[in-house]
Structure 1
Amino acid sequence: MLPRSLPEPELFLPERGEPALRWGVLGAGWIAGFFVAAVQKHTAQKVVAVAARAQAKAESFAEAHSIPTGHSSVDALLDDPGVDVIYVAAPQSEHLSLGLRAIAAGKHVLMEKPLATSAADAQQLVDAARAAGVFLMEAMWTRYLPQTRMIRRVIDEGILGDVRSVIADHGQPLADDPGHRLLRPGTGGGALLDLGIYPIQLDSMVLGEPTSITAVGSLTPSGVDATSTVVLGHGEEQSTLMTSILTRTPTVASICGTTARIDIEGPFHIPTAITLRSHDLFEEPVVWRDPTGVGLMDGLAWEATALARYVGEGRAESPLHTHAETVSILATIDEARRQLGAR
């Protein structure tokens, strides 16, 4: 029998003792805009500065988002003594170099996903942050959403029994523009690094590091991965994860246990709902919907409050998404891309 109600998740609510950090934003694209809006609306954090490739773009972004300072260069932002933490929202091909510069400047870093374009580069960032004594976290916002906190509690309390499989997909039609960054090998292109990381991180959260990786798929004319189906083995457990930049898929996920299953509504990586289903076909499922009202891209706020809490606790990494796990997930992507022959 399923429980008729689900346990209350622990939320990263603002103003619960975390410091109000002063944030600098590196990059002025669409994701930076959503992040800043979410932080300003739903957290106690302070966005105080921004820098972009062009000063005019930084100033325009600052004006649009009521940010006090639009810096003329990356160095000016990193040298700003009024900035505690840098949110890096630049293209992923620049994550290693910009991350190392921010760390060297003594700033905490929230790096937009993926942390880097390879496991080796991610490890370099981790090593640098540890040596400098600053906090480093990949902006895998899904990990900090209320639904994910709920899923963790359901699994930890044994409601699913033993988890046997994760099934997930993420596809968006992003390959129509031949100049799109995801079609260029030099900018960290391909479906796996940008979209496939979401199903893979879900599998990692639930079942840990895989013991075997099998990938099939297709490449774009430019040589990056366009589609892939990745089967991850975990001893007796096995997961199937699909991603594509050629079509929009349901972007749903299921976590399957020996006594029950969780289905996560699509898009599963943003604030949505979960359904707990028994193996008994006739038993009524239990549905949980995010009650916070923090929907869609406003969900980016949760990771900012989480980072501030962890910094206030004196941590060097997120306990919900450790450095070791972040690197491991990228190692899985490295191997899948290698099997596909992606550039």
Structure 2
Amino acid sequence: MDQIKWGIIGCGNVTEVKSGPAFNKVKNSKLVAVMRRNAELAEDYATRHNVPKWYDDADELINDPEVNAIYIATPPDAHEELAIKAMQAGKPVYIEKPMGRTFAECERINQESKRTGIPVFVAYYRRALDYFLKVKELIDSKVIGDIRFVDIYLQWQPYEEEIGSKPKPRWRVDPEVSGGGHFHDLASHQFDLLEYVFGPVKSASGIARNQAGLYSADDIVVATYEFESGVLGKGSWCYTVNKEQRADHAQIVGSKGRISFSFFEKFDIVIETEKGTQTLNIPYPKHVQQPLIDLIVQDLRGEEKCPSTGETGARANLIMDWITQKQ
């Protein structure tokens, strides 16, 4: 492809800053069409972002001859159907995370990719952010020696949900739409990044429960996991705590020290060894998906390989299925 001409299906909040504007900022890339079921909102997005075309029907965008690559930014329940339609139309797909509601859905997407020869990419953009690439570099260079274990600790109160009261229905906590709850939405990023750093997880197990009764999805998860490399890991995720208790910590412990970092909110990486403590501050770019989108465009043009594919993206779903006992 000479120029990658993108169409977005599902131009909601995630596309406003994180991804949408990046398609026009990357070399050899252009956003030419957007789609949303609400025609008024689709037109508004197109007007505000200077996008030439808008649709309220996904099939029309998929079959637009000017569009040669498609970004699927809908909730996960539509990912499989839309991705398969796009590939059958001969168009590469970039899918928001998680790739699907279950590993089985991801596998069917990948099977269609193999059948058609059309590539699939997944929006696990931490694989291209300088902050997380620095964490990987520190691990690979053995700054803290041989890795012993990984510990994830997340306490979150997303979207200002009030403890003790029923929130308005949201797709992220409707398992029929999202595949699970906030764990499914956020932990997918974490497990994808951990596999990028440490290699495949060979086993994982956990307990997922709904304690607060605010919605039908699980709101607390605890888990253990083991990488093929022998590194062990554990994690706890609780999504019904007061705002003052909000916490996002990750720790990697090695034979000669430890590295502490955050997956979501903070930009510091703390390295502790016998030589002392060092803190690195590496902010995210304004459009956090831009570095990954750049790699996808280069991949489609045969210039570079993107590290986040359908095959790697499905792995996060598999691990979460193991932990929540869907597999």
TM-score by length of 1: 0.82
- Verify: 1:31 aligned to 2:10, yes or no: no
Counterpart in 2 of 1:274? 269
Tell me the residue number matched to 1:201: 192
Does residue 213 in structure 1 map to residue 204 in structure 2? yes
User: How many Å separate the matches in 2 of 1:313 and 1:338?
Assistant: 39
The alignment of Structure 1 onto Structure 2 pairs a total of residues equal to: 313
* 3-state SS in 1 of match to 2:93: strand
Match of 2:280 in 1: 288
Greater CA drift, 218-227 or 124-133: 218-227
| Alignment partners' CA distance in 2, 1:312 and 1:271 | 34
1:336 maps to: 323
Deviations 1:115-170 (A, max 9, x none): 11111110111111122122211101111101222222222223232222122234
Partner of 1:164: 148
Distance 1:70 1:271 in 2: 36
Provide the residue aligned with 1:181 in structure 2: 171
Mean Cα deviation higher: 32-41 or 86-95: 32-41
Cα distance in 1 for residues equivalent to 2:56 and 2:311: 35
8 Å contact kept, 1:95–1:111: yes
Indicate the residue corresponding to 1:225 in structure 2.
218
Describe the shift of the 1:48–1:170 C-alpha distance in structure 2 as closer, same or farther (beyond 3 A).
Answer: farther
> Is the partner of 2:21 in helix, strand or coil?
helix
Task: Assess, with a 3 A threshold, how the Cα gap between structure 1 residues 205 and 269 changes in structure 2: closer, same or farther.
Answer: farther
Task: State the Cα deviation string for residues 36-90 of structure 1 (Å, max 9, x = none).
Answer: 1344456652111101112222111101111111124111110111112111110
Secondary structure at the aligned position of 2:64 is classed as: coil
Secondary structure, aligned partner of 2:279: strand
SS at match of 2:300: helix
Give 3-state SS (helix, strand or coil) of 1:338's partner.
coil
TM-score (structure 2 length as normaliser) = 0.86
Identify which range, 235-244 or 70-79, moves more after superposition: 235-244
Instruction: Verify the 8 A CA contact 2:192 2:315 in the aligned structure 1.
Output: no
SS at match of 1:36: coil
Deviation at 1:91, TM superposition (A): 0.7
Superposition deviation, residue 28 in structure 1: 1.8
| Counterparts of residues 22-101 of structure 1 (less than 5 Å) | 22-34=5-17, 35-41=19-25, 45-101=29-85
Q: Is the 8 A contact 2:129 2:284 kept in 1?
A: no
Q: How is 1:104-253 mapped onto 2 (pairs within 5 angstroms)?
A: 104-174=88-158, 175-176=161-162, 177-188=167-178, 189-219=180-210, 221=213, 222-234=215-227, 236-247=230-241, 249-253=246-250
In structure 2, runs of 5+ residues without a counterpart are: none
SS of the aligned residue for 1:90 comes to coil
Aligned-pair identity (%): 21
1:321 pairs with one of 289, 292, 308 = 308
Distance 1:108 1:241 in 2: 35
Q: 1:191 to 1:257 in 2, by over 3 A?
A: same
> 1:273 touches 1:288 (CA, 8 Å); kept in 2?
yes
Q: Which amino acid aligns with 2:181?
A: G
Judged with a 3 Å threshold, the aligned counterparts in structure 2 of structure 1 residues 74 and 273 are, in CA distance, closer, same or farther, namely same
Any conservation in 1 of the 2:22–2:293 contact (CA below 8 Å)?
no
| C-alpha distance in 2 between matches for 1:121 and 1:215 | 21
